[in-house]
């Protein structure tokens, strides 16, 4: 990636201010602690006329669509409505930017704007769970994924509902500058650098309960011992719960079954080891509790969409730029 990559964040009338704020917070804040080469950021008016955001705010953009010429990343922070038309000039400018090599990012309903450019054809994408059917309807050549927080297709990235935009933006920092930089930004935001699970846990469900003291202590105790053999019977025994109780309490606390939670934690640790160490994939598999490398590859591909080696190579390539 070039030095000081330019991130262009779109503003439009009816702006989704939360999604806009997510992008500005990650890419638009001055972060001298990151040294030279950190993002530059501009706000781009997607259309003529006064730009008003939800909550009564008024936006004064840095310029119009001509600013996209030099952008390495263009962020579409939501959209007026999944049913609102996308101006032709905006769709054409985004398509041209993508053709020049810019990365296109759609937060929440921003995916509908990307669909209008044709950038989602024959790709995977996501949006807010409430609108996935609509996205599949208007973009039938897109594989719409309903149960993830974000989808990274390389030069086109999309996130689920509003807050998942932060997950996606942090993921982009990880891609561009590495795990340590993403963790540092996450700490400044008082936010987890990795939010496990997908948006299925939020579909027509009550807000999950927080883990009780005993269960929380047990889960915290498992994380540093992921390399051990954690059968469901052992987890139930050490947590002091029956198998039925273990399933009920872990799902209520995390949105995942005990087995799925364990796999997610092991994947999280594998990602950290692949990014921050030179351990062979076989050693990473053992350290995370997958045992054999073939097991790590299977679960990693399913969860991340890349093989462990490809995931590591992406960060290695970033470091060489």
Please report, in tens digits, the pLDDT of each residue of the chain (321 residues total): 446 899 999 999 999 999 999 999 999 998 988 888 999 999 999 999 899 999 999 999 999 999 999 999 999 999 999 999 999 999 999 999 999 999 999 999 999 999 999 999 999 999 998 999 999 999 999 999 887 889 999 999 999 988 899 999 999 999 999 888 888 898 888 776 666 555 644 544 333 334 455 788 888 899 999 999 999 999 999 999 999 999 988 888 777 899 999 998 999 899 889 988 899 999 999 999 999 999 999 999 888 878 899 888 876 544 433
Report how far residue 59's alpha carbon sits from residue 21's, in angstroms, rounded to the nearest whole number.
Answer: 12
CATH 1.10.1370.30 applies to domain 206-321: no
Q: Where are the domains of the chain?
A: 6-189, 206-321
3-state class (DSSP) for residue 136:
helix
3-state class (DSSP) for residue 143:
strand
The pTM assigned to this predicted structure is: 0.67
CA 101 to chain centre: 21
Instruction: Report CA Rg, the chain.
Output: 21
User: What is the DSSP track for 65-133?
Assistant: GGGGGG-SEEEEE--S-TTSPPPHHHHHHHHHHHHTT-EEEEETTHHHHHHHHTTTTTSEE---GGGHH
Specify the CATH architecture of the domain 6-189. 3-Layer(aba) Sandwich (3.40)
């Amino acid at each position: 990636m070039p030095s000081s990559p330019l991130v262009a964040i779109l503003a439009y009338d009816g702006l989704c201010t939360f999604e806009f704020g997510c992008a500005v917070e990650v890419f638009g804040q001055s972060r001298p602690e990151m040294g030279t080469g950190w993002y530059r950021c501009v706000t781009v008016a997607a259309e003529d006329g006064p730009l008003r955001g939800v909550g009564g705010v008024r936006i004064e953009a840095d310029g119009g669509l001509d600013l996209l010429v030099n952008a390495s990343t263009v962020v579409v922070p939501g959209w007026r409505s999944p049913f609102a038309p996308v101006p032709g000039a905006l769709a054409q400018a985004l398509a041209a930017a993508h053709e020049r090599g810019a990365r296109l990012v759609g937060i929440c309903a921003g995916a509908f704007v990307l669909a209008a450019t044709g950038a989602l054809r024959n790709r995977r994408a996501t949006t807010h769970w409430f609108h996935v059917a609509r996205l599949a309807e208007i973009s039938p050549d897109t594989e719409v994924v309903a149960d993830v927080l974000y989808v990274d297709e390389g030069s086109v990235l999309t996130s689920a509902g509003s807050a998942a935009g932060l997950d996606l933006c942090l993921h982009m920092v990880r891609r561009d500058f590495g795990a340590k930089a993403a963790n540092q930004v996450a700490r400044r935001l008082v936010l987890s650098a990795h939010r496990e699970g997908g948006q299925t846990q939020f579909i027509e469900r009550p807000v999950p309960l927080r883990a009780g003291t005993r269960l929380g202590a047990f889960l915290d105790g498992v994380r540093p011992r992921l390399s051990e053999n954690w059968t469901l019977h052992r987890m139930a025994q050490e947590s002091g719960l029956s198998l039925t109780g273990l399933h009920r309490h872990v799902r209520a606390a995390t949105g995942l079954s005990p087995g799925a939670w364990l796999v997610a934690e092991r994947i999280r640790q594998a990602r950290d080891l692949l990014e921050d160490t030179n351990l062979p994939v076989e050693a990473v598999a053992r350290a995370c509790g997958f045992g054999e490398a073939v097991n790590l590859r299977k679960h990693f591909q399913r969860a991340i969409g890349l093989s462990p080696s490809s995931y590591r190579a992406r960060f290695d390539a970033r470091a060489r730029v």
